[in-house]
């Protein structure tokens, strides 16, 4: 049923085929793959997973003889840009028979990483220029980014902080916790601290507890957040002990980072369930990546699957202009088309905010398909997700109308 204000219809967007969508949303274990003879107590030990990461060309060739010439050359050069590291657990999600496997594209270096355009940057979000003390980024008025480490469980080839993480470029990152904490304590306007890196959940429980306690002791810090990809790369790290420690610091939110529904395995669902049971609100950040998730059906499946894991899709990022990332960057146009196919077509909770981090350090700018078609003297003309057009009577200055709108406006769709 439509409202009286409906004045025009457009053809309806076709929803994804249900079979394809439900196939993408199946939860599967990553399995043991090449590590089938490893005892359970090792496989389920996050420290064993870290010790046994794939970090060099020889290991990679042995495990994946299907390496392409582009991947071979990229891996040889990786140590000069961003190290190669993949946990055995996450490696099992790669399909060695598929050159375009979405996990493979995110993890295996390619020679295209050495192709750098003049508009690409090593610090596309301008973090270093907003850093009052090493490891602290104060870009927005009431919150700071607290970088705690340059290490991650695995390295993403599109990482916006690849200048820093893994120390492949010799950035030599040394956060100084005392100085970072002193800055926060001296700035009462900072009410929100986001711990990130690198990945804070690589710290031991004790070290993380020490940092969180010191931050919690600052009276004006209302809200703590941790940005982490550990639940995706290393779900074994999400132990009951870690969850019990984290729950002392509420309100504490966790932003995870996943890009494709295949990353949401049964192991990940269980790890996220432990965090949610500890009362930790969970959000997800995805990066829009070419041939990984720049497809409306994949994105919808991913967003719906996140909700099934008790995670709210938070941001969808346009891939930053990080040097050597052109082969992974999907277009803004494709991002807008995907958002168009999400909004209204699925649960509002499943719709992230699509943002571009303004190149050079302008902060996050939300971008969205246009739903306000025009603002006239006596109405705002809008369209819904089906392309149907409606009018909201209102004077141009925002005040209520004293007489009904008189003329019918039928604008062209943008
Ligand atoms: S986990 Fe995050 S910080 Fe680490 S490489 Fe991936 S995107 Fe970068």
Q: What is the pLDDT of residues 17-66, one digit of tens each?
A: 777 889 999 999 999 999 999 999 999 999 999 999 999 999 999 999 99
Q: What are phi and psi of 377, to 5 degrees?
A: -60, -30
d(CA 190, CA 385): 38
CB-based contact 84:54 (threshold 8 Å): yes
Strands (E), 24-155: 136-140, 143-147
Question: First and final CA of the chain: distance in angstroms?
Answer: 25
What local confidence, expressed as pLDDT, does residue 10 receive? 39
Burial 176-209 (b: 16+ CB within 10 A, else e): ebeebbebbbeeeebebbbbbbbbbbbbeeeebb
d(CA 185, CA 29): 44
CB-based contact 21:301 (threshold 8 Å): yes
pLDDT above 80 for 4 = no
Describe the strand order of the beta sheet including 372-375 as a list of residue ranges: 372-375, 379-383, 389-393
Q: Which atom of ligand 1 is nearest to 162's Cα?
A: 8
Q: What are phi and psi of 301, to 5 degrees?
A: -60, -40
Per cent of the chain over pLDDT 90 is 83
Task: Find out whether the beta carbon of 152 lies less than 6 Å from any atom of ligand 1.
Answer: yes
Q: Which atom of ligand 1 is nearest to 155's Cα?
A: 5
d(CA 184, CA 201): 21
Q: What are phi and psi of 147, to 5 degrees?
A: -85, 125
256-260, 289-293, 408-412: the lowest-pLDDT one: 408-412
Out of 85, 155, 167, 317, mutate this one to test ligand 1's pocket (max ligand atoms within 8 Å of CB): namely 155
d(CA 235, CA 43): 11
- The residue ranking higher by pLDDT, 406 or 295, is 295
| Angle at the Cα of 248 from the Cα atoms of 243 and 251, rounded to 5 degrees | 100
Binned at pLDDT 50, 70 and 90, residue 160 comes out as very high
- The residue ranking higher by pLDDT, 5 or 23, is 23
Nearest CA to ligand 1 atom 5: 155
d(CA 65, CA 53): 17
């Amino acid at each position: 049923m439509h409202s009286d204000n409906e004045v025009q219809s457009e053809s309806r967007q076709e929803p994804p085929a249900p079979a394809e969508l439900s196939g993408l949303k199946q939860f599967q274990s990553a399995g043991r793959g090449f590590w089938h003879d490893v005892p359970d107590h090792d496989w389920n030990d996050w420290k064993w997973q870290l010790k046994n990461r794939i970090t060099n060309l020889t290991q990679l060739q042995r495990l994946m003889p299907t390496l392409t010439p582009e991947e071979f050359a990229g891996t040889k050069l990786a140590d000069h840009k961003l190290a190669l590291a993949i946990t055995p657990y996450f490696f099992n999600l790669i399909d060695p028979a598929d050159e375009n496997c979405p996990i493979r594209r995110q993890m295996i270096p390619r020679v295209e990483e050495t192709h750098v355009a003049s508009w690409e940057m090593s610090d596309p979000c301008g973090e270093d220029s907003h850093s009052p003390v090493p490891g602290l980024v104060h870009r927005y008025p009431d919150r700071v980014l607290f970088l705690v480490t340059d290490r991650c469980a695995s390295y993403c080839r599109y990482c916006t902080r690849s200048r820093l993480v893994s120390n492949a470029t010799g950035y030599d990152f040394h956060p100084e916790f005392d100085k970072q904490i002193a800055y926060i304590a001296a700035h009462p306007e900072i009410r929100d601290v986001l711990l990130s890196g690198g990945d804070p959940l690589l710290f031991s429980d004790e070290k993380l507890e020490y940092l969180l306690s010191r931050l919690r002791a600052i009276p004006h810090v209302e809200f703590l957040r941790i940005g982490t990809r550990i639940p995706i790369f290393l779900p074994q790290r999400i132990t009951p002990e870690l969850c019990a420690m984290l729950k002392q610091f509420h309100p504490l939110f966790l932003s995870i980072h996943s890009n494709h529904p295949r990353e949401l395995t049964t192991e990940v669902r269980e790890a996220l369930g432990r965090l949610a049971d500890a009362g930790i609100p969970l959000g997800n950040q995805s990066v829009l990546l070419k041939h990984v998730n720049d497809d409306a059906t994949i994105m919808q499946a991913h967003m719906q699957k996140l909700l099934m894991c008790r995670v709210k899709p938070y941001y969808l990022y346009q891939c930053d202009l990080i040097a050597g990332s052109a082969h992974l960057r999907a277009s803004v146009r494709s991002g807008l088309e995907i958002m168009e196919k999400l909004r209204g077509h699925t649960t509002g909770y499943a719709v992230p905010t699509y943002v571009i981090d303004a190149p050079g350090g302008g902060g996050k700018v939300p971008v969205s398909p246009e739903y306000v078609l025009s603002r006239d003297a006596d109405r705002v003309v809008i369209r819904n997700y089906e392309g149907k057009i409606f009018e909201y009577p209102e004077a141009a200055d925002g005040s209520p109308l004293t007489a009904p709108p008189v003329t019918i406006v039928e604008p062209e769709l943008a």
